[in-house]
């Protein structure tokens, strides 16, 4: 038997936690600084999932504003500063997260986070949400030279957590999560309540769940028990 443990790797935004209020709130601060109107949360929610730079680009496109590379970089720095001070004003775990993590840990899984969020923000947010210490690794956009949908973001996260890639599963909410897991040869469970402009069932995950109470069963069906 491998000395490495089986492992469940989680996306963060839209998977473990509802973070749209704080992310879109920060985006709207930037839009306001540029004299542009706020984007409604319901409209902007699907723009989340590929990291802050992509969120800024999508937000400004939706507002009909051009964004030069230099301006984009400046706004990205502004975003990180403001968001870092407002990580958990409105964010919260989805129902059933803690119980599902407890169940997977009891079943012998290591747990890790692989997110396109900046690593420091991911660590701080998970600490504020009270679950940071449950994860063997918390890896963000700049932790490695690669980020989702590059499969190496997931495989390197698994290695850092000392998990067994042959007994791994990814849990996410977006095309980036699903495509990265598929490219890595890792089964993927998609949640229906996250951030995506396409219903996740249409993106080809191995399982789809609508509540975290369904996660242990879905993971158990995909990962060998040995």
Catalytic residue at 107?
Answer: no
- Angle formed by the axes of helices 97-106 and 215-222, nearest 10°: 40
Give every CB contact of residue 155 below 8 A, 6+ residues apart in sequence. 165, 184, 186
3-state secondary structure of 188: strand
Question: What is each CA distance from 36 to 25, 33, 41, 42, 160, in whole angstroms?
Answer: 14, 7, 15, 18, 42
Q: Which of 11, 13, 22, 179 is catalytic?
A: 11
Residue 32 to residue 209: CA distance in whole angstroms = 37
Residues 192-223 as b or e (16 or more Cβ within 10 Å = b): ebbbbeeebeebebbbbbeebebbbebbeebb
Report, as residue numbers or ranges, the catalytic residues: 11
């Amino acid at each position: 038997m491998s000395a490495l443990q089986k492992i469940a790797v989680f996306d963060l935004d839209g998977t473990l936690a509802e973070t749209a209020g704080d992310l879109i709130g920060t985006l709207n601060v930037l839009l306001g600084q540029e004299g542009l109107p706020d984007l409604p949360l319901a409209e902007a929610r699907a723009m989340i999932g590929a990291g802050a730079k992509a969120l800024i680009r999508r937000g400004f496109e939706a507002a009909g504003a051009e964004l030069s590379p230099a301006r984009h970089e400046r706004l990205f720095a502004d975003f990180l500063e403001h968001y870092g001070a407002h990580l958990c004003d409105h964010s919260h775990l989805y129902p059933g997260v803690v119980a599902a993590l407890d169940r997977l840990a009891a079943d012998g899984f290591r747990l890790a986070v692989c997110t396109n969020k900046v690593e420091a923000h991911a660590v701080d947010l998970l600490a504020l949400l009270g679950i940071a210490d449950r994860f063997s690794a918390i890896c963000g956009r700049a932790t490695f030279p690669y980020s989702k949908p590059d499969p190496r973001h997931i495989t390197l996260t698994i290695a850092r957590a000392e998990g067994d890639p042959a007994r791994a599963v990814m849990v996410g909410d977006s095309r980036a999560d699903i495509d990265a897991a598929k490219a890595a040869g890792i089964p993927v469970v998609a949640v229906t309540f996250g951030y995506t402009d396409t219903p996740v069932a249409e993106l080809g995950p191995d399982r789809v769940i609508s509540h975290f109470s369904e996660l242990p069963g879905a993971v158990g069906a995909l990962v060998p028990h040995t």
